[in-house]
Structure 1
Amino acid sequence: MSSPSPRIGIVVTDAYSAEDPDHDTPVLLAALQARGVAAESVVWHDPTIDLAAFDLLVIRSPWDYPERPREFLDWLDRAETATHVVNTPATVRWNLDKRYLGELEHGGIRVVPTVYAETTDAAARAIATHDAPGARLVVKPAMSAGARDTGLFAASDPRALELAERIIGGGGVAMIQPEIAELSEGHEKALYVIGGTFTHAIAKGALLEAGGGLRGGVYAENPVLVEASPAERRFGEEVLRAVAAASAEETPLYARIDIVDSAAFGRCVLEVELIEPALNLHIAPHATPAVVDAILGAISHESASGADR
């Protein structure tokens, strides 16, 4: 008698904006089902779902978790107890707070210079250091996604401190960074690594409007496939080695490494997204088999581990 097909849950939420839809999940579900896998979407905050009924939960697009972080952490605890989860809950917890960038920097990775302000006074001091004529800076929370509560301001603009105060007043940590001119010109590049192997790179253009807020008033990426040079790929490999040393996950199932080549600071990491990066499979269909293979590999690894226990 053949063994039953593994049941895989693709972890999502129940509402997406028209400007920022979840393109990946329909593609991924179809590809898994075509390989004979019982795969379905799972709304992370739906209390009626039996998490233990799944052999694997793949965190993909729970994009509202920054609005309910305590609830998400509680869900992670339940999911981890119930079944196998990727990326691992330990890695997700580590990646939730962008102060991990300081750990990567300590590990030898160049990151955008950042002050992490836990008080209004600390934020005011950090903002005051950007006093060169025409200087601009970015203020954002250490826990966020989709550029929530992120603003680009002239250093003299009182709205920079107001945003920092709002973040800190809400119990968060405010990050203060210098503007990277190349970012404002749309030269950020995202490198995707699936199961430890580079698959594709995209550029999504500039998102922040000077003076606070988003260009066009809403978060709307415009991803375009781009090439990644051998040097950029090597840099991505260095970043993931530093991630492994800091987070204790040797090879995450999926990773997005955001980088920029900056005249002021060199090649820098902006973010390493290990929780819920859009993989942009609708414009990089060649990456879909790699994602499916990595998911099936995670199932096989867990099955082997269970047999050994």
Structure 2
Amino acid sequence: MPVSPRRIGIVVTDAYADEDPDYDTPVILDALRARGAEAERVVWHDAAIDLGGFDLLVLRSPWDYPDRLPEFLAWLDRAERASRVVNAPATVRWNLDKHYLADLEHAGVRVVPTRYATTMDAATAAIAEVAGAEVRAESRGDGRVVVKPVVSAGARDTGLFEASDPRARDLAARIVERGGVAMVQPEVAELSAGHEKALYAIDGIFTHAIAKGALLETGGGLRGGVYQENPEPVPATDAERAFAGEVLAAVASVTGEVPLYARIDTVDSAAHGLCVLEVELVEPALNLHVAPEATAAVVDAILRA
């Protein structure tokens, strides 16, 4: 017997940190079922689940994937063979590695300056170069840098440091010594002041904007000691909406598709202008619990898919 043409799997994991729950999935499941769809959670690493029994798999909150990346990539391969997956696995693979920022920059998008390092010598040079550029641009002190791996989520292995702080190099060493690539970016003063803004688009159309405040404490830790976002709906300017459109056009030029869902993290800074911090196309929280007006657009897009 053929499966329902609307059997939809919402891809999740099996456990979440108390301070970072998955608020979106219950909202999406209820809304899909209200529209007559057969929708259920799919734990991505549960080998007993028949992925071929779903007509669509929607990546939503497999938030433990950075700790089990080879397993997640293998799951993507299986899921792609068994069903349709959104966002598309090719786009997800591209977006998993933050080298994609260089692709966006080459496509004409303003991106916070980023250097990549695969050795400690390269990381040390990148820290000095980025910090020196920041001092020249901001006319102040020692300069601060952000160090993080190219594959990460939830601020894992991410730190904000004075450039002279040996902990910046220690973090870079941990990243490169396990075979990773370290990213080095300047501190953006407006970001540290809590002015990051996430712009959301569903099927290429802007839906809402969220501010979540600053997360990093100078010296390598998280403010409050844990990763905890405090999402608040905020208005988006015409310039920000237009910028989101430019970013999505660049994504489409690289990947060949407009993603079903996208979160574009931005900051409007004196040093760099309105620029991209990150474009999240794998599993961004949509924050539908504080922006319920976006739920209909999400469900419509899923049903069209």
TM-score band w.r.t. shorter chain = over 0.9
Partner of 1:243: 251
Q: Is 1:256 aligned to 2:263, yes or no?
A: yes
Partner of 1:293: 300
Query: Partner amino acid for 1:82?
Result: A
> CA RMSD of the aligned region, Å?
0.9
Partner of 1:148: 156
Shift of 1:210: 0.5
Q: Tell me the alpha carbon deviations over residues 55-75 of structure 1, each in whole angstroms, 9 at most, x when there is no partner.
A: 100000000000011000000
Query: Partner amino acid for 2:106?
Result: H
CA distance in 1, matches of 2:53, 2:4: 13
Q: Is 1:268 aligned to 2:275, yes or no?
A: yes
Matches within 5 A, 1:68-147: 68-129=68-129, 130-131=131-132, 132=135, 133-147=141-155
User: Is the 1:28–1:288 Cα contact (8 Å) retained in structure 2?
Assistant: yes
Partner of 1:230: 238
Q: Is 1:282 aligned to 2:289, yes or no?
A: yes
Q: Is 1:189 aligned to 2:197, yes or no?
A: yes
Count of aligned positions = 295
SS at structure 2 position matched to 1:28: helix
Query: Partner amino acid for 1:291?
Result: V
Shift of 1:253: 0.6
CA distance in 1, matches of 2:272, 2:22: 33
CA distance in 2, matches of 1:239, 1:4: 36
User: Is the 1:183–1:260 Cα contact (8 Å) retained in structure 2?
Assistant: yes
Shift of 1:5: 5.2
CA distance in 1, matches of 2:4, 2:60: 24
CA distance in 1, matches of 2:200, 2:179: 32
Which residue of the other structure, out of 154, 162, 169, is the alignment partner of 2:170? 162
Query: Partner amino acid for 1:99?
Result: H
Partner of 1:178: 186
Q: Tell me the alpha carbon deviations over residues 184-231 of structure 1, each in whole angstroms, 9 at most, x when there is no partner.
A: 000000000001111100000000010001111110000000000111
User: Is the 2:159–2:218 Cα contact (8 Å) retained in structure 1?
Assistant: yes
Q: Tell me the alpha carbon deviations over residues 44-100 of structure 1, each in whole angstroms, 9 at most, x when there is no partner.
A: 000100000001000000000000110000000000000000000000001000000
Partner of 1:305: none
Following TM superposition, the consecutive aligned residue runs of length 4 or more in structure 1 with deviations greater than 6 angstroms are none
User: Is the 2:5–2:55 Cα contact (8 Å) retained in structure 1?
Assistant: no
CA distance in 2, matches of 1:225, 1:290: 16
Query: Partner amino acid for 1:69?
Result: L
User: Is the 1:10–1:40 Cα contact (8 Å) retained in structure 2?
Assistant: yes
CA distance in 1, matches of 2:66, 2:179: 13
CA distance in 1, matches of 2:4, 2:78: 24
CA distance in 2, matches of 1:247, 1:30: 31
User: Is the 1:208–1:215 Cα contact (8 Å) retained in structure 2?
Assistant: yes
Percent identity for Structure 1 against Structure 2: 72
Q: TM-score, normalised by structure 2?
A: 0.95
CA distance in 2, matches of 1:15, 1:168: 29
Query: Partner amino acid for 1:258?
Result: D
SS at structure 2 position matched to 1:30: helix
User: Is the 2:8–2:56 Cα contact (8 Å) retained in structure 1?
Assistant: yes
User: Is the 1:22–1:278 Cα contact (8 Å) retained in structure 2?
Assistant: yes
Please, which runs of 5 or more residues in structure 1 have no aligned partner? Answer: 299-309
SS at structure 2 position matched to 1:68: helix
Query: Partner amino acid for 2:292?
Result: P
CA distance in 2, matches of 1:40, 1:223: 26
User: Is the 2:44–2:75 Cα contact (8 Å) retained in structure 1?
Assistant: yes
CA distance in 2, matches of 1:92, 1:274: 6
User: Is the 1:32–1:39 Cα contact (8 Å) retained in structure 2?
Assistant: yes
CA distance in 2, matches of 1:81, 1:69: 19
Q: Is 1:17 aligned to 2:30, yes or no?
A: no
Shift of 1:4: 3.7
Q: Is 1:221 aligned to 2:229, yes or no?
A: yes
Between 1:17-26 and 1:127-136, the stretch displaced more is: 127-136
Shift of 1:286: 0.7
